[in-house]
Each structure stands twice: as structure tokens, then as C-alpha cells.
Structure 1
């Protein structure tokens, strides 16, 4: 299997180094989504543990492997306006049985729904969970989900920091140069440039370690 870039581990239970959490993290960070789905690692309780360690792009990619992927039967997942509760509950059970129970990525679908929930009135069947269950899980796991969202944003924010640091080095390297600039200013600019280069090198090294490019 092709290894995947190591993402930000989701804080919470996993940070306590429980063996099961470590295994889930290793699976999420080491194998392509298609292999996780094919091997049954994205369903059930174990699947939820693995999905909790995945980043948003992985979860979104998993949805393309879902039982409902490509279906036009979106009406089955949502309660119709003015639909009686009893009728909706019946249809909902059929949806769960038809799509969610046999779905190879149900846990990833549920994790994405919990991490980025719709408004309560717009909730639909997701990952084998009805609306009430999603709301309850969202409350119970609020801290973990919030931490996961922060980790999802991490790569973009870290990339922006690296780009800013690189621009700073380039800008300083082009200013206050030449013998027409007083020595004290050239020395200060040289010191500033070295400091900026060090910050950029540090950020780059951290990124390489996090992605497995360096030991």
C-alpha cells in the first residue's frame, strides 16, 4: 500500500496513547482510503476510531466510495417538508438498511457529518446515524470534534506560514544592500536576514518531519 502523509493527530483519547488509538492513528496515516474501505476499516466501532484520526480530505475522498455515491435518491436521506414523523421514521429505517448498513465507509461519512454538521433543521441520515443520534454524538464528542477541525485547517495554515517566511527572506535579501548603504544598516539587515532564514528553515524542517520526508 502507498503511504499517506501523516496528518495532525486528533487530540483527545488518542493523545493518551491507548493501544487501540495508536493502531487507529497508524491505519489512518499509513494507508490509502480505498484500501481502508476495502479491508473493512471504515465501518463499525473500529471504523469510527480510524475515521476520528483522518483529515477532512481523506473523509471527503471516502464518501466517493460510499454505497450512496452517485445515487439520485437523495430524497431518502431527508425528511420531507410537512412529512409526518411516523412516515419519516419508516422511510429512514429503509434508508439505513439499504444504504448505511452495507456501506464500506459509513464511519467516515458519520465522522464528516459530526465534524461539519448542518443546521439541526437540515440534518439527514448520515453514516448509519439518524438526526437525533448525530446531535447526541455531537454534544458528547464536542471537544474532540473541535480539535479535529483545528487539525484539518493545520496544513493550510502551516503552508501559509512557510510561504510568509520565505517571502520575508527574499524581501530582506533584496533590501539595504550595496556599499551605498551605511555599514550599520547593512549589518542589521544581514542579522535580520539570517534570523528570517532560520525561521524558514525551522518551519520547513518541522513540515518535513511531520510528513515523513526526514527522520
Structure 2
């Protein structure tokens, strides 16, 4: 039995096939980032599969739990210096990975975010630039799909912000103003329509994120 299934077996009604990818999707859809980090789900092989299911904003939130975010090491440790011999860089890189990446609870999320951002210059998630580049090439199709989903997530967020701003604008413009009764009714209906639009976008986001109504 794989480690994800042993540690967190999916409910039969929710399981999306008892495969590693299916369990990874289930965990990514049902667990918060904080819980995934606390459960050790964003490190190692299991973490790689789960990180692939997350959207870029979720990955960036996960990075706030990283060793680098906590101790703020010298960023130069993660990059080869100009003119530095490869042998010296490899030794220094190994120390950096040992001291920071191997103990990081979100190293898989760090590597996945680097791939999404096409950032393969330095060490990311314990992976050397050469390995990141190989994965970038090997996983081109998957990463293109992931970036497309990330883009739709960003567009949806902008739409929610715009809808909230429009509701606030209409409320500030119309509420408390005097005028003909029919005009006031029209203004109230405009506000209600803006509120419905805002609520629909928020509800869609919560459904996509796996939130309950109470959340």
C-alpha cells in the first residue's frame, strides 16, 4: 500500500480511483494547504504528485512554510557564482540541499512552482538546475495544462475582485440618495444584481476549492 493511502485513505464515495494520482487529486481537493504541510504531504514522492494538482496561488502559500521563508538563508547559496568551478559548486550545492532542502516540509511544492514559473537557474526544492531543466522538458504537456489552469484561476480572482468593487461602487452611489420611487427601486435592483453576481463568483470559487457552504 502506498504511503498516501496508508496515511490518509480516501472515503469510498470521494475516491477518484485508488491510484497514486487519484489519491493525490483527492488530497489536493479536500485538504487545506496548512493541513497538507502539517501532514507532511508536500515533501518527497507523494508531495510531488500532490503539488502537481495544486494551483499556483496554493503553491505560493505553501512556500510560506518553507525553511527558506523561516530562516532566510543567503540566497547566493542556491546559485552558481560566475566563474565558480563546477566541482566547487557541486560541493556547495550539496551542502545547501542538505542544510535546507532535505528538511523542508514543502520542497515538492517549491520544485513544482519553479517549473510552473520556468525558473531553472538555481536550486529549487532540492533539485539542481540540470534536473529541473530535464523535468521541464519531460513534463512540457502537463506543465502547459497546469499553467492554463493557473491562468483561469487568476482570471476568476480578478473577476471576483471586480464584482466586489462594482457592488461597493453602486452601494456608495445609490444608498441613502433621494429621488423618484421608481428610480430608487431601479437602483436597489442594480445593487441586488451586483450582489448576486459577486456571490455567484464567490460560490463558484468555493466549490472549485472544495470548501463547504459553512466555510
TM-score, normalising length: structure 2: 0.66
Equivalent in the alignment of 1:89: 90
For residues 71 and 164 of structure 1, what CA distance do their matches in structure 2 show? 36
Equivalent in the alignment of 2:196: 201
The residue correspondences of 1:15-164 to structure 2 (distance < 5 A) are 20-68=20-68, 69-118=70-119, 123-139=121-137, 140=140, 141-154=142-155, 156-164=157-165
CA contact (8 A) 2:28 2:53 kept: yes
Secondary structure, aligned partner of 2:71: coil
* Cα offsets for 1:79-98 (capped at 9, x unmatched): 01111223222322333333
For residues 39 and 116 of structure 2, what CA distance do their matches in structure 1 show? 24
For residues 64 and 175 of structure 1, what CA distance do their matches in structure 2 show? 46
TM-score, normalising length: structure 1: 0.66
The answer for unaligned runs of 5 or more in structure 1 is 1-16
Q: How many residues align?
A: 189
Q: Give how far 1:169 is off.
A: 4.9
Q: Give how far 1:29 is off.
A: 4.1
* Cα offsets for 1:8-35 (capped at 9, x unmatched): xxxxxxxxx6654453344234434343
Secondary structure, aligned partner of 1:48: helix
For residues 196 and 65 of structure 2, what CA distance do their matches in structure 1 show? 39
For residues 17 and 133 of structure 2, what CA distance do their matches in structure 1 show? 27
Equivalent in the alignment of 1:210: 205
The answer for unaligned runs of 5 or more in structure 2 is 1-15
Secondary structure, aligned partner of 1:76: helix
After superposing on structure 2, the runs of 4+ consecutive aligned residues of structure 1 that deviate more than 6 Å are 172-176
Q: 1:18 to 1:128 in 2, by over 3 A?
A: farther
With 149-158 and 169-178 compared, the bigger mean Cα shift is at 169-178
CA contact (8 A) 1:114 1:145 kept: no
Q: CA RMSD in A?
A: 3.5
Secondary structure, aligned partner of 1:205: helix
* Cα offsets for 1:159-195 (capped at 9, x unmatched): 223225425754578999527xxx9xx6xx94x9747
